[in-house]
Amino acid sequence: MIFYFSGTGNSLYVAKNIGEHNKEELVSIASAINNKDESYEYTLKDGEIIGFVYPIYAWAPPKMVIQFIKKLKFNNYKNNYIFTVATCGENVGNAIKVISNLLNKKNLTLKSGFSIQMPNNYIISGDVYTKKVEQEKLSQAELVLNKINDVVKNSKDGIFEIEKGFVPGILTSVISPLFNKKGLDTKKFHAGHNCTGCGICESTCNCKNIKVRKKPIWGKKCIQCLACINLCPKRAIQYGKGTEKKGRYKNPNINVKEMMIK
Ligand SMILES: Cc1cc2nc3c(=O)[nH]c(=O)nc-3n(C[C@H](O)[C@H](O)[C@H](O)COP(=O)(O)O)c2cc1C
């Protein structure tokens, strides 16, 4: 059972790939959270592998992933193999440790953990990579994925291959809380004249925080996955004045339909 969260398809692609190689079903964390509000309870088959795959936001797992793991409950857990993969543009700080600590509190043990560099989607600060760099990152990611599939298939224990970056402790313990406190504001999102009201932003919003009434209107529950701004087919969505000239990113192996939140 592979639990995933994804804004622009990188993490969904990774989860799908590992799921196919290991014949494990995928479970969308965003769909689970949006459809239930108390506990998330799953019954495991014997020997079932458990995975958590998500993007890195400010050197930590997204708030929604943390919230989900805190309320997660397994029936029939018998020391099942647990792994995690964080997709990122560059590095992940201590995000894997955050996941490991959360699992420990539930008497679950993380057996292996990885980061995979993939194209960046955070166009609010910075821009997308050039097409060349994007291609290089995607090709390199395939090699890392092969390695992860080998580790997971053979239930290898104690394999942690993580690009943590410089001063990972500070990045995760200082920047991440700041980002969650100050960086999730939706006031600057707006749609331009070329918005057709197609509704893709509403149906791919991980927080079900957008309502399209001719044009999208944002509520307050955002976690900045940036699905809305990156997946808009008309590039009509902007954040303040800084994103008009910037690129947009969607993982090329994933289609928008797969990104829709049930
Ligand atoms: C709000 C936000 C914050 C991000 N912070 C980081 C970061 O701290 N380090 C990093 O390497 N990439 C960071 N990224 C880039 C994403 O982690 C990366 O592009 C990821 O693969 C996107 O996955 P997805 O397509 O499944 O949403 C950030 C992206 C967003 C939207």
The whole-number mean pLDDT for each consecutive block of 10 residues of the chain, a chain of 262 residues, reads 98 98 96 84 96 98 97 95 98 98 97 98 96 98 98 98 96 95 94 97 98 96 97 98 97 97 92
171 CA from centroid of ligand 1 (Å)? 14
Q: Is the CB of 11 under 6 A from ligand 1?
A: yes
List strand residue ranges (DSSP E) for the chain, in order: 2-4, 26-28, 40-43, 50-55, 72-75, 82-88, 112-117, 159-161, 189-191, 210-213, 215-218, 237-239
Q: What is the pLDDT of residue 37?
A: 65
Which helix (DSSP H) or strand (DSSP E) does residue 104 occupy? helix 95-104
Q: What is the pLDDT of residue 39?
A: 75
Q: What is the pLDDT of residue 36?
A: 75
Token digits of residue 248: 């947009």
The tokens 């958590």 sit on which residue?
52
Q: What is the pLDDT of residue 261?
A: 95
Q: What is the pLDDT of residue 35?
A: 87
Q: What is the pLDDT of residue 250?
A: 98
Q: Is the CB of 28 under 6 A from ligand 1?
A: no
Q: Is the CB of 57 under 6 A from ligand 1?
A: yes
| Burial tier of 166 (Cβ tally within 10 Å: 0-12, 13-18, 19+) | exposed
Q: Is the CB of 89 under 6 A from ligand 1?
A: yes
The tokens 């994933």 sit on which residue?
254
